[in-house]
A and B are shown apart, each in its own frame.
Chain A
Amino acid sequence: MGTLNLYDTQKQRIVELQSRIRACERGAFAHSTRYLTTGCDALDTLFPGQGVRQGSLVEWLGESNASGAGTVSLMTGRRVCPAGRPLVLIDTRHDLFPLSLSLLGFDLSRLILIRPASEREALWACEEALRCEAVGVVWANIEQITSTSFRRLQLAAEDSAGIGFLVRSTKAVHQPSWAEVRFKVHPSPSLRGSPGFQVEVISHHGKPHHTTADIMIDNWKGTLYENRHSANPLPLVPRMDVATTRRRSTGT
């Protein structure tokens, strides 16, 4: 009745060994298993722990132009940043627009923008910021990261129980990564003028509940929410809405 058979015992052992391997991979000083919600259930289910784990790195990959990886990662970063802690944004491309961040709900007085002259400096700044326990979230768009540098970033985040979001292009998909989860973000058709994105898990430590999520930005609140219409058997509905809006804007 309540006894475990041989199969169950082996399965339990495998699970136990897997968790120990993961703990080793995360480093011997992993002292945080706190998960922070992104505020969007669909996005939460893509993380193995139903949220962003403190002391971990998350990688967001996107195509070069307007993929949405940067926007989605920034909005998620704002949401998971612990109250009262500053956000450090490392803007290697020097094109982050603080006005937009303000409209999306960022408190600019609690934000430090770093504009390094090179990717090497950006990497150094990222590691320094991740090492600082006082920083809530470190966000950086860095293209070239070697395996050793990535490991250093991961250990720094692990040590300070910080959170690091790295935004890279999809060219990095075949490069080694020490991120807990790697996402690929694709733009998807909008709904009533709200930008939509599909977030796909391409690698992870631990098993997430889902591997893709369709999300949208709420035009008014500037928050992320699940796009349930993507499963709409009548895809004409949102398109009709778009067509109507377009007619209105062109005055026909």
Chain B
Amino acid sequence: MQRLVVAQPELDRCLLLLTERLQRGEFVRYGNRLAQKRGVRVGMPVSEARTFFRPRDRIIVEAVQPPQDRQALIELALRCERFSFRIGLEETDHPESILMDVTGVAQFFSSEQGLAEELDRALSNNRYNGRIAISETIGSAWAAAHFLAGSHQPVVIPAGELHRLEPLPVMGLRLDDSTLTKLERLGIQTIRQVLALDRASLTRRFGAEIVTRLDQLRGQRPETITPCHPLPTYRVERNLEEGISHPEAIEQLWSLLLRQLLDLLTPKCLGTRHLECRLIMEDRTSQSLSLRLCEATSDQQHIADLLRFQQEKLRLSSPVVALMMEALDVSPLETNQQELFDGGTRGHARQFSMLVNRLSSRLGAEAVLVPCLLPDPVPERAVQMHQVSDANSAEFTTFPARFHGVDRPTALFPEPRPVEVIAMLPDGPPAVLFWQGIRFDISYSTEPERIESGWWDGEYVCRDYYRVETSSGQWLWVFRRLQDHLWFWHGEFF
């Protein structure tokens, strides 16, 4: 809307509608102040909007043009570069906000308020009307800009005062429409109401996005700004006149390219955490070797070892005619990401990350895991496995304190094993178990522990678990499924 008005100021005196064509017809996406004054609302069918117009009104109806809008927003962001070292757009399909990292910049403008006012003046000079907010996190600044700030009234949320955002509507959390609709149906209108809910049930009912957005709002989950300025790419490639198929020749080729690639990174003290090596074959197909590393590295020997593991698994359909290598996740060597394991010497940490890289390369990233507990009582859903490369985002929760050492078995079978049971009492603990012809005489059993899932959790689970001891001292974990009273052996102290 503002893009059009800036380009043609006379449009401000017209009834301007930007429309969007959906399956159900053409709807109003934006309307200028005059259109809104007439009663036109966003989301209204264009035919209905036309009924509000008067005969003498000058009406302009145009379709929204997302690529042009995005380009205009980027141009505006680049014009604001003097206010920030890192400036980018919000990461949605149709961005409407510019994100700026103003850490350490405020001192050049007397204060953060001064910076915000100067930015507002700069926008006004370019005939743009913006709503500006400065806060500790991207999420909180976005919410404040949309629901606290006004035209020419910038807002600054001082550090430690994020609670001021709690009364704002849930739209401030940057949630998708379906989640907002569900929240509205449940009568949840403010961020404070969302914060009061249990995180586990929020995740189960609305998905992981809502918890992510809450964490981003409060700064408990990192969020970065992707700069508008294109980042430099670190890529090398080599085309061959004749195809090669011998593994040693291929290794020699990627070794050469790896050296060239690291020669680009090393002078800038940069390393890579994600390296992609693409082999293009004579039959126009391609295969990739992909390395994800625990920390940024430029160690040629280490990377070559890892690539060698990957190459061993490669089955080429025809000779290689071209090879392209690119460092995708590049970061300074000295400021690596948070260490997987704190403590110990730097040398040990480095050795350990090299070990993890080797294990992940040879066995696959899905085989090298960091377990995280989830607050779910159902045993098979109580643990989530993260790949080591994602370990920094893993949350380590604890189980309720009422549980102790041997309340859960050390081995949990991937699938519960059906067992035949003889019980002394109809609903009592088992006296004898039979599994695949093996008989277990039970000499002791604990009180039953009822484990039941919520109806909203997908598959409904309602079980009575018993820790039982056999006459020879083995400890098993069995349960009776209450829906059909069948017995299963689910784990053991192996």
Binding site for B on A (CB under 8 A): 62, 65-71, 74, 83-86, 93-105, 108-117, 121, 124-125, 128-129, 132-135, 186-190, 193-197, 217-223, 242, 245-246, 248-251
Does B351 lie within 8 Å of A134, measured CB to CB? yes
Select one of A71, A102, A115, A246 contacting B373, CB under 8 A. A102
CB distance from B441 to the nearest CB of A (A): 12
Which of B372, B410, B470, B475 has the most chain A CB atoms closer than 10 A to its own CB?
B410
A-B contact pairs, 17 of them (CB 8 A): A65-B492, A66-B494, A68-B473, A70-B411, A84-B342, A94-B414, A99-B379, A102-B398, A113-B371, A128-B355, A133-B351, A134-B349, A135-B352, A194-B406, A219-B405, A246-B444, A250-B429
What mask results when residues 405 to 443 of chain B are scored 1 for a CB within 8 Å of chain A, else 0? Answer: 111111111100000000011001100000000100001
- What are the 7 A-B residue pairs with the smallest beta carbon separation, nearest first? A222-B405, A187-B473, A84-B343, A98-B371, A66-B474, A134-B348, A97-B412
> A97-B411, A99-B399, A125-B363 given. 9 additional CB < 8 A pairs?
A66-B474, A84-B344, A96-B411, A101-B371, A103-B406, A121-B363, A193-B444, A195-B493, A248-B447
CB distance from A88 to the nearest CB of B (A): 8
CB neighbours of B343 from chain A (8 A):
83-84
Chain B: residues with Cβ within 8 Å of the partner, total of 68
Once A97-B379, A193-B444, A249-B445 are accepted as A-B contacts, the answer to whether A86 and B352 lie under 8 Å apart by CB is yes
Once A66-B493, A108-B396, A129-B355 are accepted as A-B contacts, the answer to whether A101 and B344 lie under 8 Å apart by CB is no
Once A100-B409, A125-B359 are accepted as A-B contacts, the answer to whether A219 and B404 lie under 8 Å apart by CB is yes
CB distance from B310 to the nearest CB of A (A): 15
CB neighbours of A197 from chain B (8 A):
473
CB neighbours of B407 from chain A (8 A):
103
Does B373 lie within 8 Å of A98, measured CB to CB? yes
CB neighbours of A103 from chain B (8 A):
399, 403-408
B446 within 8 A of A: yes
Residue of A nearest to B350 (CB): A134
What mask results when residues 334 to 378 of chain B are scored 1 for a CB within 8 Å of chain A, else 0? Answer: 000000111110011101101110110011100111111100000
Select one of B410, B448, B469, B492 contacting A190, CB under 8 A. B469
CB distance from A157 to the nearest CB of B (A): 14
CB distance from B26 to the nearest CB of A (A): 54
CB distance from B45 to the nearest CB of A (A): 54
Does B372 lie within 8 Å of A110, measured CB to CB? no
Cα distance A133–B354 when bound, in Å?
11
CB distance from A54 to the nearest CB of B (A): 15
- B467-494 interface with A by 8 A CB criterion: 467, 469-470, 472-476, 491-494
CB neighbours of A95 from chain B (8 A):
411-414, 491, 494
B44 within 8 A of A: no
CB neighbours of B249 from chain A (8 A):
none
Cα distance A241–B488 when bound, in Å?
27
Does B473 lie within 8 Å of A196, measured CB to CB? yes
CB neighbours of B385 from chain A (8 A):
113
CB distance from B475 to the nearest CB of A (A): 5
Once A95-B414, A220-B405 are accepted as A-B contacts, the answer to whether A67 and B352 lie under 8 Å apart by CB is no
Residue of A nearest to B412 (CB): A97
Does B355 lie within 8 Å of A249, measured CB to CB? no
Once A97-B383, A134-B352 are accepted as A-B contacts, the answer to whether A114 and B369 lie under 8 Å apart by CB is yes
Does A250 lie within 8 Å of B424, measured CB to CB? yes
CB neighbours of B368 from chain A (8 A):
112-114
Does A116 lie within 8 Å of B363, measured CB to CB? yes
Once A111-B370, A115-B369 are accepted as A-B contacts, the answer to whether A193 and B446 lie under 8 Å apart by CB is yes
Cα distance A219–B354 when bound, in Å?
38
Residue of A nearest to B371 (CB): A98
Does B388 lie within 8 Å of A100, measured CB to CB? no
CB neighbours of B445 from chain A (8 A):
246, 249
CB neighbours of B403 from chain A (8 A):
103
B269 within 8 A of A: no
Residue of A nearest to B425 (CB): A250
Once A96-B411, A190-B444, A219-B404 are accepted as A-B contacts, the answer to whether A114 and B469 lie under 8 Å apart by CB is no
Select one of A70, A109, A135, A217 contacting B406, CB under 8 A. A217
Select one of A109, A110, A115, A128 contacting B367, CB under 8 A. A115
CB neighbours of B404 from chain A (8 A):
103, 219-222
CB neighbours of A68 from chain B (8 A):
473-475, 493-494
Cα distance A132–B424 when bound, in Å?
54
Select one of A69, A109, A194 contacting B396, CB under 8 A. A109
Cα distance A220–B403 when bound, in Å?
9
CB neighbours of B354 from chain A (8 A):
132
CB neighbours of B444 from chain A (8 A):
190, 193, 242, 245-246
CB distance from A143 to the nearest CB of B (A): 13
CB neighbours of A105 from chain B (8 A):
405
Select one of A71, A85, A112, A251 contacting B369, CB under 8 A. A112
